[in-house]
């Protein structure tokens, strides 16, 4: 097998791993939401640390912090655009160890977007259940964690870790 065929086989393997990882993330998110529905819905909050953290069932028909209530079309278009941009970006990123954090962030953002999208299609709302009562933080779920943490990590990486020559390699490389 020549060098180009090996590179393509390696790239294909990376894509397959990314799809499997995203699917595993979605499955974990959906499983935790299933548990929230079966164990928390219609029940009093389950308190882990009194006054600090609890599991509390919430049907969120909006986006983060309750914005855009009942705007299903907006959410579907948003998920499609986000996924298209992230997949385009993933394809552009070199398959080298140095760029692995970018690829992981991309996979987690897609997993989170799909996890919440599945809820919107299936239930007409997103199931949320983590609540930091101490700071009265909005109730959230596993998919929200994927998106928030990955986006924050992506911003930190882009501003503080990667350099101009890395961006050149991502956005202007020749095949």
pLDDT digits 0-9 by tens, 108-135 = 999 999 999 999 889 989 999 999 999 9
pLDDT-based confidence at 66, cuts 50/70/90? Answer: low
Distances in whole angstroms, Cα of residue 97 to Cα of each of 28, 92, 101, 103:
26, 14, 8, 10
Angle, alpha carbons 81-86-87 (nearest 5°): 100
Query: Chain-wide mean pLDDT for the chain?
Result: 90
Distance between CA atoms of 45 and 152, rounded to whole angstroms?
A: 29
> pTM of this prediction?
0.88
Q: Which residues are catalytic?
A: 128, 144
Among all chains, which residue has been given the structure tokens 């890395």?
A: 166
Give the pLDDT score at 67: 59
pLDDT (tens digit per residue) in 4-62: 777 777 888 989 999 999 999 999 999 999 999 999 999 999 999 999 999 999 999 87
């Amino acid at each position: 097998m020549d060098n180009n065929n090996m590179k393509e086989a390696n790239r294909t393997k990376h894509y397959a791993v990314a799809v499997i990882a995203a699917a595993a993330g979605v499955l974990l998110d959906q499983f935790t939401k299933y548990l929230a529905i079966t164990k928390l819905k219609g029940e009093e909050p389950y308190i882990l640390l009194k006054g600090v953290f609890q599991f509390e069932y919430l049907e969120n028909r909006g986006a983060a912090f309750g914005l855009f209530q009942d705007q299903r079309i907006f959410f579907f278009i948003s998920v499609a655009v986000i996924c298209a941009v992230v997949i385009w970006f993933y394809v552009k990123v070199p398959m080298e160890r140095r760029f692995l954090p970018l690829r992981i962030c991309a996979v987690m953002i897609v997993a989170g977007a799909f996890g919440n999208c599945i809820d919107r299609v299936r239930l007409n709302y997103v199931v949320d259940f983590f609540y930091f009562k101490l700071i009265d933080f909005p109730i959230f779920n596993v998919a929200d964690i994927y998106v928030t943490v990955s986006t924050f990590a992506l911003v930190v990486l882009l501003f503080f870790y990667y350099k101009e020559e890395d961006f050149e390699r991502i956005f202007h490389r020749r095949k």
